[in-house]
Homo-oligomer: A and B are copies of this chain.
């Protein structure tokens, strides 16, 4: 059984360049005419239906309004661990059979855990929608966990951490940068959890978390595909609507990050590093907390500064100054409480990271002093609007975009109007957002390097 994470902010940058090329090619695709259906069952479970009649398949997703940022002290990783455990059994489904049943019926299934949410989905032919609903509703309330399940799956998660984090210096650096960026807010804690805490998670921890958060009123159902809202409503009422709420999770209020007041720097030396780089990450508002056009402006700004070969960073650092072989930026605005805005650059030839950083700072300094041009804004906006088209073109992306927006507190209209709202962003909005966010005291700078040759004990 495979699992995946939503890409984290610090990984987005790695995909950014390739992604830009792809979606600009698909910029001429026609947007779907989305007629999103939306209703709430009597038990409080929200339902969103996104008709997509291009093929006789459906994407069925249940999103829970709970993620890694809702974990208790010392229990990091429990949200993600529980996500794994949801693939164990119930009275009706034997342990480990869930995904096999989906597969035998020609479908695919998976799940993901992020800071603010946990989601489960199946992609399957439309005549099996009721089947997966029944199964998903069943495991919302009837999970059975044996001590053996816990032990086995905890080992799986520990191995996942070893493979995906501990064996990857770049992931470790990202983890340390997040830990430094957030001093009080739980976004600083890794989703997969700190190893020592994961190793101690118990059956009781998992069941407590499950009972506290897995209840219809804390879930959102998203169905995209070859169905009507009416059909989904009938099925959803039958399988989810009959469930009683077993818990009442409180409002999702997390502690506020203290005002950022210091520049932070993280230097990671590791013998496994093949390609050193410098990365800078700023604490930013998210779509949920931004004022006015701030978040939209940051999405456009990152496009201008760091997306693709026509970006300012690429043209300056790679083409003109020849100090970097690759560079980019990102804005992760789709989190509840905070977003991050970041840059990275890989030096040209085993190069000096301090020097490279000065080049990045020059690009940032220029935008702070002079803002961006109307032409740059117009172009970036077009690219982003094309990206939307690309997203809409995939049924699972579509379901995911709406699910993620709703689970972090935005509305269907927020998603639908995003393109239009981009049109209202001005060059002044961008200059203001840059001035607010791109302050060194809001940032963490990371250096990923090989160990110094004289310090052989630096890594192990």
Contacts and interface: CB of A to CB of B under 8 A. Distances in A.
A316 interface: no
Interface in A155-188: 172-173, 176, 179-180, 183-184, 186, 188
Contact of A186 (B73, B172, B180): B73
19 contacts: A72-B73, A74-B254, A76-B255, A172-B261, A179-B183, A180-B180, A180-B264, A183-B194, A184-B189, A195-B258, A196-B256, A261-B268, A261-B459, A262-B268, A263-B267, A264-B266, A265-B266, A267-B440, A439-B458
A196 B441 contact: no
Given A74-B254, A184-B189, A197-B255, 7 more contacts: A72-B73, A74-B184, A179-B183, A261-B459, A263-B266, A263-B267, A263-B268
Interface residues of A, number: 39
B172 A73 contact: no
A370 interface: no
A225 B334 CA distance: 62
A457 interface: yes
Nearest to A451: B441
Nearest to A200: B255
A264 B262 contact: no
Contacts of A179: 183
A126 interface: no
A333 to B, nearest CB: 22
B265 A267 contact: yes
- How many copies of this protein are present in the complex? 2
A194 B184 contact: yes
A62 B72 CA distance: 30
A264 B261 contact: no
A269 interface: yes
Given A184-B197, A255-B194, A265 B265 contact: yes
Most buried by B among A76, A180, A439, A455: A180
Interface string A246-276: 0000000011101001111111111000000
A439 B176 CA distance: 17
A262 B194 contact: no
Nearest to A368: B457
Contacts of A255: 73-74, 76, 194, 196-197
Nearest to A74: B255
Contact of A441 (B195, B265, B269, B439): B269
A413 B439 CA distance: 53
Contacts of A441: 269, 458-459
A262 B176 contact: yes
Contacts of A439: 457-458
Residue among A74, A184, A268, A458 with max Cβ neighbours from chain B (10 Å)? A184
Contacts of A256: 194, 196-197
A254 B200 CA distance: 12
Contacts of A267: 262-265, 440
Interface in A53-92: 72-74, 76
The 6 closest A-B pairs by CB, nearest first: A265-B265, A74-B255, A263-B267, A179-B183, A196-B256, A262-B268
